[in-house]
Chains A and B, each alone.
Chain A
Amino acid sequence: MPKVKLPRKSTSVDMTAMCDVAFLLLSFFILTTKFKPAEALAVTTPKSVSTNPAEQKDVVMITMDSKGKIYFSVSDDAPEEKQTIIDEVNQQKALGLSDADKKAFIRSGSYIGVPFSQIKSYLALSSDQLQKLDKPGIPVDSANNELQVWVRAAYAAFQGSKMKLLIKGDNEAKYPSFKGVIDALKRNEIFKFQMITDPEGVPPGTALYQKNNGPSQPAAK
């Protein structure tokens, strides 16, 4: 009986289709990736179960770093408000800022991290020098709460359009600095603000979990 001859098949696969898919996905990810802007202040925010996304426009941000120092910044899409804020603060505190100093504040990505006594030399620094500078932060103790002045100026500048006040705190920041921030807001009669957090899952079995998932879910405990 003659042997059945099996035709030898090539093991090489046509990679073209796979290549197409790979690069399609690649282009998708390249286009959708939004790189985090290089943040001047390294802050690790705590987690919460809150689900509403943080505002991006017309934001007045108060940042607390890990040592509890306070920084004040305004989002870049509001240059006119920034101008108003720095003018107002300059006038009120008689800081004697030049137009160049004010420009430094209006420049994108700027933030204030010094008391009023140092602000003039602070604004004269370039952004590279700012990185290296050991910033003392804005004082928020009850005797000398300078953040209050900044917040009041911001509140006045954003009158008309709605100001979104965000607090971005580091995990390690101690409570007294947070209290200082709250005091600064309270003295300006601002009682509503938001705290930036990272999203976190709702622990199962809790009241909120049952509310989100409907009452049919059996309680875990």
Chain B
Amino acid sequence: MAEMDTSGGGGHKKGPGVKKSKKLSTRVDLTPMVDLGFLLITFFIFTTTMSQPTAMKLILPKDTEKPEEQNKVKESGALSLLLGKNNAVYYYEGTLAPDGSNFKSTNYKEIRNVIIDKKKSTNPEDFVVVIKPGPESTYKNTVDILDEMTINEVKRYAMVDLFPIERQMMVATEGGGPMPTAPAPAATAPAAK
């Protein structure tokens, strides 16, 4: 296949005095070419971005001041998730006890079990997750938690700002610096680490 027919036409014989020239093979060694081909294939396979970026839908509720339009949350069915810095998650069920006894800390791996357990133990009608991202939490944390809502099929969830008391509790748990008296406008503050 990779050679050419160089035998000339028919059985034409040269004269007796003519020296028979040696036929050179035209067969080409294709191995390097195949090597090169596969090298390039590998390159293109690795550089191809097969996965298109996906989009996650988020629909916000309208902010309203009127109490009759606000959604009521039953205390028994509420689970508050507080997103802290360095990928920490804090949570409590119902309302926060004044002494902080029900304020627990966890991480993004364990939070799924917390949500599942709470979901199982409460009436589906009442179950609502309140997400409170702290000023030190990252965008990734927020998306991860919203994703967790999708994964665990939590139908009702809300994104709310931190209360000052929760912020203090969070800072106290994280240890380190003095308690801020007001929520720090941490947009420009570098992460203390």
| Interface size in chain B (residues, C-beta < 8 A) | 54
Considering only residues 115-161 of chain A, those with a C-beta below 8 Å from chain B are: 141
| A92 CB within 8 Å of chain B | no
Whether the pair A55, B139 counts as a contact (CB closer than 8 A) is no
Main secondary structure on chain B at its contact with chain A? mixed
B138 contacts A29, C-beta separation under 8 Å? no
CB neighbours (8 Å) of B136 from chain A are 174-175
- The answer to the question of B2 belonging to the interface, with a C-beta cut-off of 8 Å to chain A, is yes
Residues in B neighbouring A23, C-beta threshold 8 A = 37
Determine if A68 is an interface residue (Cβ-Cβ < 8 Å). yes
Instruction: Kindly state the separation between the CA atoms of A209 and B148 in the bound complex, as whole angstroms.
Output: 12
When each residue 186-221 of chain A gets 1 if its CB lies under 8 Å from chain B and 0 otherwise, what string results? 100101111111111011001111010000000000
| Residue A177 interfacial (CB < 8 Å) | yes
Q: Which of B40, B143, B153 contacts A46 (CB 8 A)?
A: B143
Q: Is there an interface contact between B53 and A53, defined as CB atoms closer than 8 Å?
A: yes
Task: Say how far A12's CB is from chain B's closest CB, in angstroms.
Answer: 8
Query: Given A182-B60, A195-B58, A199-B51, are A22 and B38 neighbors across the interface (CB < 8 Å)?
Result: yes
Q: What distance in Å separates the Cβ of A40 from its nearest Cβ neighbour in chain B? A: 16
Interchain CB contact under 8 A, A52 and B2: no
- B44 in complex: contacting residue of A19, A33, A174, A177, CB < 8 Å: A33
Closest to B31 in A: A15
Query: Which residues on the B side are within 8 Å of A108 (C-beta)?
Result: none
Binds B, one of A80-88, A95-103, A164-172: A164-172
Q: Which residues of the partner chain B approach A29 to less than 8 Å between Cβ atoms?
A: 41, 44-45, 48
Is A171 within 8 A of B138, CB to CB? Answer: yes
Chain B 18-51 residues near chain A, CB threshold 8 A: 29-31, 33-34, 37-38, 40-41, 44-45, 47-49, 51
* B33→A15 contact, CB < 8 A: yes
- Chain B 149-181 near chain A by CB (<8 Å), digits 1 or 0: 011110000000100000000000000000000
B37 touching A192, Cβ below 8 Å: no
- Interfacial chain A residues near B38, Cβ < 8 Å: 22
Min CB distance, B156 to chain A, in Å? 14
A141 to B187, CA, bound (A): 9
Chain B residues contacting A19 (CB-CB under 8 Å) are 30, 33-34, 37
A38 to chain B, nearest CB (A): 14
Flag if B54 contacts A207 (CB, 8 Å): no
A11 touches B (CB below 8 Å): no
Q: Give the chain B neighbours of A185 by CB distance below 8 A.
A: 60
Residues of B within 8 A of A197 (CB): 53-56, 143, 147
**Nearest-Cβ distance from residue B116 to partner chain A, whole angstroms:** 8
Provide the bound-state CA to CA distance between A53 and B59, in Å. 17
Which of A32, A175, A194, A198 interacts with B139 by CB under 8 Å?
Answer: A175
A22 in contact with B41 (CB, 8 Å)? yes
Most buried by B among A166, A174, A189, A202: A174
Q: Are B2 and A15 in contact (CB under 8 A)?
A: yes
Report which A residues bind B (CB closer than 8 A).
12, 14-19, 22-23, 25-26, 29-30, 32-36, 45-55, 64, 68, 141, 166, 169-180, 182, 185-186, 189, 191-200, 202-203, 206-209, 211
A-B contact pairs, 17 of them (CB 8 A): A16-B1, A26-B41, A34-B49, A46-B143, A47-B147, A48-B146, A52-B55, A54-B54, A68-B187, A173-B138, A191-B61, A192-B58, A194-B56, A197-B56, A199-B52, A203-B151, A211-B153
Question: Other than the known A196-B54, A199-B51, A207-B116, what 4 A-B pairs have Cβ atoms closer than 8 Å?
Answer: A12-B29, A26-B40, A207-B152, A207-B153
